[in-house]
Amino acid sequence: MWNERKRSKMKNIDLNIFKANNTKVHPGKGRILIAEPFLQGPYFARSIVLLTEHSKEGSVGFILNKATDVYPDEVIDDLFNFNGELFIGGPVSSNTLHFIHTLGKKVPGAIKITQNIYWGGDFEEIKKLINEGKADSSSVRFFAGYSGWTAGQLENEIAENSWIVSSLDDCQLMTADINTIWKESLKNIGNLYKTWSNFPNNPSFN
């Protein structure tokens, strides 16, 4: 009987360990989504997504920790000496180019996302600032494609424990190491998620 109770207790622990129920943060512009360790696929596995838009109509965001094999100045006409990567923004419209930056109103049409981070704006002005040495990879990040959710879709995925909603400071959002940002983001939000961060990529290796 004792062994049965012990097995039952362990079963409950195993079932509950990956429930993302310890965070009260709701999705919103400027928040991040942290993928749970079982989320699979080339885009979202162990990803960190910055939300740039969230409303009743849907959500838009960009994956911060997936890089392509090319560089922005290889695919953007008249962009010179940009020492930064081209990131994979998400699976939607992967042949389109997007960017976030910390240049504020220097870029007409930019949309404010956080205190210091802006989304989009005049593309020619961004190129001009980079080429004049007034902006670099610490202040501008380029993305191929974006991540999008229809009305209610993201909320359903959060309810299914696919994502944890959290936040990072602006410096981390722009310059964090893409190889460690997923683990470090989990460690920063509590002991339960520290366990997530140590879970192997392939569960069979555990």
**Block mean pLDDT (10 aa), the chain, length 206:** 36 44 78 93 96 97 96 93 95 97 97 97 97 96 98 96 94 94 88 72 55
Q: Which pLDDT score is estimated for 188? A: 84
Residues listed for the chain? 206
Q: Which pLDDT score is estimated for 204? A: 52
Residue 45: count other Cβ atoms within 10 Å of its Cβ: 14
Residues 6+ apart with CB under 8 A from 1: none
CA-to-CA distance for 48 and 185, rounded, in angstroms? Answer: 9
Reduced to 3 states (helix: H, G, I; strand: E, B; else coil), residue 171 is helix
105: which 2 tokens?
């109103």
CA-to-CA distance for 21 and 93, rounded, in angstroms? Answer: 32
Q: Which pLDDT score is estimated for 134? A: 96
Helix then strand then coil, % of the chain, to nearest 5: 30, 25, 45
Whether the Cβ atoms of residue 97 and residue 13 lie closer than 8 Å to each other: no
Q: Which pLDDT score is estimated for 11? A: 38
